[in-house]
Structure 1
């Protein structure tokens, strides 16, 4: 297994500093993303920038030496990085999600070891989803106890975002004791990381295959689900997905504005010298900007509600509002990213479609990323709440029901 070299990581001490650094890092990543030759290159340099800047450590709580950043700040750093490259934004998104998982459920010595690595600039990836099953809860990857008493892991995963470039891989598996969570170091014998992610977008999320072949597990790094998943258990990954799509929308709009000012020609019937003076273009840019501002506003509001919920997790009304506001952020971000990234070509002209401009990367990333979690079900949950008074939820309820039926024991 290839060892990853990590440059020394900066220690960020203030939330405003984290946002400033994210903006700087996004600028460097944007310069790389603009070059079409980088589309199919592994984002090693981009991942190093995330780590060395200290952005990957801001979610570490203060009692363990980190910044203990608010959800609002973590959301904003993911959004800013995603304005440059949605795939790299997803590397940061999944790292933060997996980091939260490390903070609960594992022994202190495991937690402390992983957090020390994160503070040193090392990253986490995931290995949760599989292909070929009846649904996403039908896990074929299993943890089983051998006759000699050892726990052994076998199986494979796909959509393993960030895993190929990560130090630690967090995964789920089925077992006789129900759903199991496992942390594996990339150098674990029997673990194979495969660079086979080949989608037309989000190429830099490196969401390929991870294989487990008779891996003998250290039981300190294994947890078994002892109760139902929290009702709001998916709101953190969900709000960061909204941050990615809002970022893609912002990046697409900025790229369109730059092209309009520097390269586009006014249409012959317009009577103006510059494309940026065409009234129809000005109006359409206004529509894009309104869609983007709406997405960013509801994203900030959802992050505010999230931080309020963190301070008072027992407040049921606040819990409901969190689910509804995150679903709203997802819906607005989804729409803005797809609209702006796709429609911008109607303003820029045929030359903008040339590969050298690489402007299609925003649409490709938006189209691939927004398939992650069907927005129709977020809208269903919101609509069912308003129309029928049904508690808003996420598919954590489905997971809990499947677990009760023994789905993760088979």
Structure 2
């Protein structure tokens, strides 16, 4: 019997709830030893196993009939995990967005094949695809040289998460012969690939950041996803969503940090282990009211951007040239509000309680927001609002 729209909606809702239940269970598991793992600061090897065994790596891929997760559900899962451990939320956010790389850059057939392989093999994805910068005069850090069957790739690139444990790393590189920007995927186990993990990070210590060094790495034709844009003006509308999609997913990681910090501090206050007790200091209620309001404001802005992004991703090839700019401006607004809320709230909770590990929320928020200056985003938002510019809001897609 044909599936009615109501049945399809029910099934979608049921899948959404099931994924969130799984994410909640994984989050509880991660929360139990979050402080110890943060202090150890090791590569997320065990964390990858937890995500894979729970089925989240296969589940958080682009939606197709019978598999994958729609944008709203994927972001909800990321936020749930990030509330317990923002480093793992970071890993999952980058994984989910980079599994969309086939749709952003490749042909429909290649994207389908990649997504099927990712689900079947339960690949963990990461990457560092950069937005074209008009003032970049240093030349490409990754260079491709054609050979008889494919390319040879040389250079080095910093990757913000899962660099040593990922199964696929997505990067852009410049062909030294044609000048074309190509987006390629690299298995870290390939010959010529060396990983240099970042040690002693201030925050996001378990995310697994580091540098990938590429020395004459063979790139087969099937590893080339497609052409990247030379500049913002030449970016295809759907491809233009790639960078803001990652930034928005990371906003959900920031919301997870906020929620985790507030929840842990609230529990300390209720348990009588904070500097000030609710019954003894009425001003404490004012403080919590302020912090909760800031968190709810950030959540509302991010949720709106998430809904608009979901609609744009659903629209796919029917996007016009102007729509991605509006989405990107809204994402920049979400980033701005979330960054301010995360840094403010995680600093303030340290004044309310003094407990082991509470500082990790501020450290994680600081590292997560450091590479995206608020002033730069505000100027881009202002340009879009004032001039209706269709240029994308510039920021590194990492």
TM > 0.5 fold call: yes
- Using a 3 Å threshold, how does the CA distance of structure 1 residues 222 and 320 change in structure 2: closer, same or farther? closer
Corresponding residue for residue 328 of structure 1: 333
In structure 2, which of residues 288, 292, 297 is the aligned counterpart of residue 294 of structure 1? 297
How big is each residue's C-alpha offset from its partner over 1:330-349, in whole Å with a ceiling of 9 and x where there is no partner? 1121111101111112222x
| Equivalence map 1:212-223=2 (5 Å) | 212-223=214-225
Corresponding residue for residue 362 of structure 1: 361
Corresponding residue for residue 198 of structure 2: 196
| Equivalence map 1:97-176=2 (5 Å) | 97-103=97-103, 104-105=105-106, 108=109, 112=113, 115-128=116-129, 135=136, 138-146=139-147, 151-175=151-175, 176=177
| Equivalence map 1:232-251=2 (5 Å) | 232-251=241-260
State the 1:316 CA deviation.
6.3
SS at the partner of 2:145? strand
State the 1:196 CA deviation.
2.8
Corresponding residue for residue 4 of structure 2: none
1:341 aligns with 2:346: yes
- Using a 3 Å threshold, how does the CA distance of structure 1 residues 392 and 331 change in structure 2: closer, same or farther? farther
How big is each residue's C-alpha offset from its partner over 1:113-134, in whole Å with a ceiling of 9 and x where there is no partner? 563233442211214469xxx8
SS at the partner of 2:337? helix
Q: Is the CA contact 2:20–2:77 (under 8 Å) kept in the aligned structure 1?
A: yes
1:256 aligns with 2:265: yes
Once residues 315 and 142 of structure 1 are traced to their aligned partners in structure 2, the CA distance between those partners, rounded to angstroms, is 32
1:87 aligns with 2:90: no
State the 1:35 CA deviation.
2.6
- Using a 3 Å threshold, how does the CA distance of structure 1 residues 158 and 198 change in structure 2: closer, same or farther? farther
Q: Is the CA contact 2:324–2:392 (under 8 Å) kept in the aligned structure 1?
A: no
Deviates more, 1:214-223 or 1:314-323: 314-323
Corresponding residue for residue 7 of structure 2: none
Q: Is the CA contact 1:25–1:50 (under 8 Å) kept in the aligned structure 2?
A: yes
State the 1:19 CA deviation.
1.7
- Using a 3 Å threshold, how does the CA distance of structure 1 residues 25 and 135 change in structure 2: closer, same or farther? farther
Corresponding residue for residue 284 of structure 1: 287
State the 1:379 CA deviation.
1.4
Corresponding residue for residue 49 of structure 2: 48
Stretches of structure 2 that go unaligned for 5 or more consecutive residues are 1-12
- Using a 3 Å threshold, how does the CA distance of structure 1 residues 94 and 105 change in structure 2: closer, same or farther? same
Once residues 137 and 32 of structure 2 are traced to their aligned partners in structure 1, the CA distance between those partners, rounded to angstroms, is 36
SS at the partner of 1:232? helix
Q: Is the CA contact 1:152–1:215 (under 8 Å) kept in the aligned structure 2?
A: yes
How big is each residue's C-alpha offset from its partner over 1:201-240, in whole Å with a ceiling of 9 and x where there is no partner? 1111211011111112212212452752244342211211
Q: Is the CA contact 1:160–1:210 (under 8 Å) kept in the aligned structure 2?
A: no
State the 1:53 CA deviation.
1.7
Deviates more, 1:89-98 or 1:186-195: 186-195
Once residues 371 and 228 of structure 2 are traced to their aligned partners in structure 1, the CA distance between those partners, rounded to angstroms, is 27
Once residues 51 and 308 of structure 2 are traced to their aligned partners in structure 1, the CA distance between those partners, rounded to angstroms, is 27
Once residues 388 and 109 of structure 1 are traced to their aligned partners in structure 2, the CA distance between those partners, rounded to angstroms, is 38
Q: Is the CA contact 1:246–1:333 (under 8 Å) kept in the aligned structure 2?
A: yes
Once residues 123 and 136 of structure 1 are traced to their aligned partners in structure 2, the CA distance between those partners, rounded to angstroms, is 33
SS at the partner of 2:159? coil
Once residues 228 and 302 of structure 2 are traced to their aligned partners in structure 1, the CA distance between those partners, rounded to angstroms, is 32
1:304 aligns with 2:269: no
- Aligned-pair Cα RMSD in Å: 2.9
Q: Is the CA contact 1:86–1:244 (under 8 Å) kept in the aligned structure 2?
A: yes
Once residues 338 and 324 of structure 2 are traced to their aligned partners in structure 1, the CA distance between those partners, rounded to angstroms, is 21
Aligned residue pairs total 370
Once residues 369 and 297 of structure 1 are traced to their aligned partners in structure 2, the CA distance between those partners, rounded to angstroms, is 20
